[in-house]
């Protein structure tokens, strides 16, 4: 099947790119590997996306997805396996079909980073989770630990306390948080307990999580904490496999390098959203998606005055 523009991904960058592309006279198809929404759907509460004082990630992404769907086709649960460039065309192979496209926007985002410690994968779904919105409900009146010191960890910890966890302990490997001050203050107001300078080295339990082993980074002392649930929130890793296989230039952390028009080093390929690193916010993903979509006009032979 021949298409004008393939947008790979199902997050805010992809949806925004779809909307802007159609409005610029381009016919895109958005390819989602799953039901869509990206990592943002795991955010219990978003308070910094202008226009919504407070909205859950699921609701905001659903609104964006529905809006994009009004404009363009979204092929859902159609993971892109491979993209090959031949002359000025891109040959795209998904798990369902083959396509030929004149331009590509990669907005594949990122996924949760793993601690890679004993017990983590064995007990996933049995007390180990990466998403408080999805699994927090099961830990009402229970004691949980949140691992990490960034914005996400703080937001998860506050959410877990607010939905009724008996005790929420935030465990961070350094002596200070990476998160914004506002989240730190909010966490303190919610009686979140902080354990600084500690690494979680093992998650213990047979059928479900029972304890975690924690090592102090200064005196190297190991202790065990009784806990019912562990929420791991230690950042993300870019989903760059397609980009790597196309020899698209990445930075040292694996994010796609783009110019101010979202161009990659390969003509006709643009990137937008979390996959380009940097601020990694919904608002910047939307903006990058819009810029990428309009930039594709330069290879699609359309006139767009920008
Ligand atoms: P971050 O990369 O900001 O933070 C990850 C945290 O996990 C850091 O505190 C880091 O420690 C810690 N960490 C990393 N690896 C390990 C490890 N192996 N063991 C123990 N701890 C580890 O990730 P987030 O998911 O919090 O945020 C991702 C991006 O999204 C950021 O840019 C963030 O600003 C943004 N975001 C913004 C929000 C908002 O503005 N409302 C909400 C949520 C996310 P250390 O500090 O020592 O490096």
CATH of the domain at 135: 3.50.50.60
Cβ of 178 below 6 Å from ligand 1: yes
* Active-site residue set: 131, 134-135
Q: What is the DSSP letter of 43?
A: -
pTM of the model: 0.82
Query: Under a CB-based contact definition with an 8 Å cutoff, are residues 109 and 38 in contact?
Result: yes
pLDDT at 258: 98
Q: Ligand 1: distance of its center to the CA of 149 in Å? A: 6
Query: Under a CB-based contact definition with an 8 Å cutoff, are residues 274 and 13 in contact?
Result: yes
Q: Name the domain count of the chain.
A: 2
β-strands 222-226, 229-232 pairing: unpaired
For residue 150, the enclosing domain spans 114-232
Contacts 24+ apart (CB under 8 A), 198-201: 198/171, 198/172, 198/173, 199/173, 200/115, 200/117, 200/145, 200/147, 200/171, 200/230, 201/117
pLDDT at 154: 97
Check whether residue 121 and residue 266 sit in a common domain. no
Query: Under a CB-based contact definition with an 8 Å cutoff, are residues 256 and 286 in contact?
Result: no
Check whether residue 197 and residue 283 sit in a common domain. no
Residue-by-residue pLDDT tens, the chain, 306 positions? 999 999 999 999 999 999 999 999 999 999 999 999 999 998 878 888 999 999 999 999 999 999 999 999 999 999 999 999 999 999 999 999 999 999 999 999 999 899 999 999 999 889 999 988 878 988 999 999 999 999 999 999 999 999 999 999 999 999 999 999 999 999 999 999 999 999 999 999 999 999 999 999 999 999 999 999 999 999 999 999 999 999 999 999 999 999 999 999 999 999 999 999 988 889 999 999 999 999 999 999 987 766
> Which of 232, 260, 288 finishes a domain?
232
Q: Ligand 1: distance of its center to the CA of 69 in Å? A: 32
Using only C-alpha atoms, what is the Rg of the chain?
Answer: 21
pLDDT at 306: 62
Check whether residue 152 and residue 56 sit in a common domain. no
In a domain, 182, yes or no: yes
Check whether residue 48 and residue 64 sit in a common domain. yes
Cβ of 299 below 6 Å from ligand 1: no
In a domain, 305, yes or no: no
Cβ of 45 below 6 Å from ligand 1: no
Strands (E), 48-166: 73-75, 80-86, 89-94, 98-106, 110-112, 128-129, 143-147
Q: How many CA atoms lie within 13 A of 33 on its CB side?
A: 18
Q: Ligand 1: distance of its center to the CA of 80 in Å? A: 28
Check whether residue 226 and residue 121 sit in a common domain. yes
Check whether residue 135 and residue 283 sit in a common domain. no
Q: Which residues contact 254 (CB under 8 A, 6 or more apart)?
A: 237, 238, 240
pLDDT at 277: 94
In a domain, 306, yes or no: no
| Helix 57-71 / helix 12-23 crossing angle, nearest 10 deg | 30
In a domain, 274, yes or no: yes
pLDDT at 43: 81
Relative to the CA of 279, which ligand 1 atom is closest?
32
């Amino acid at each position: 099947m021949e298409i004008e523009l393939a947008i790979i991904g199902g997050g805010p960058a992809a949806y925004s790119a779809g909307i802007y592309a159609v409005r610029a006279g381009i016919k895109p198809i958005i390819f989602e590997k799953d039901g869509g929404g990206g990592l943002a759907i795991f955010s219990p509460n978003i308070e910094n996306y202008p226009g919504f004082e407070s909205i859950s990630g699921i609701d905001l992404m659903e609104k964006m997805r529905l809006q994009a769907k009004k404009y363009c086709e979204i092929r859902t649960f159609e993971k892109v396996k491979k993209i090959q460039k031949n002359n000025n065309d891109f040959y795209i192979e998904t798990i369902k079909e083959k396509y030929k496209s004149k331009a590509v926007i990669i907005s594949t985002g990122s996924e949760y980073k793993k601690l890679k410690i004993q017990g983590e994968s064995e007990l996933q779904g049995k007390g180990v989770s990466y998403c408080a919105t999805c699994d927090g409900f099961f830990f009402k009146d229970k004691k949980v630990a949140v691992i990490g010191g960034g914005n996400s960890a703080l937001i998860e910890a506050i959410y877990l306390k607010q939905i009724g966890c008996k005790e929420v302990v935030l465990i961070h490997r350094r002596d200070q948080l990476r998160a914004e001050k506002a989240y730190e203050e909010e966490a303190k107001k919610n009686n979140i307990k902080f354990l600084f300078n500690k690494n979680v080295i093992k998650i213990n339990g047979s059928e479900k999580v029972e304890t975690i082993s924690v090592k102090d980074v200064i005196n190297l002392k190991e202790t065990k904490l009784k806990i019912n649930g562990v929420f791991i929130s230690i950042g993300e890793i870019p989903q760059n496999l397609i980009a790597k296989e196309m020899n698209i230039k990445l930075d040292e952390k694996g994010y796609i390098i783009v110019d101010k028009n979202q161009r990659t080093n390969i003509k006709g390929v643009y990137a937008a959203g979390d996959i380009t690193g940097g601020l990694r916010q919904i608002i910047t993903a939307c903006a990058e998606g819009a810029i990428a979509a309009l930039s594709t006009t330069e290879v699609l032979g359309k006139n767009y005055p920008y």
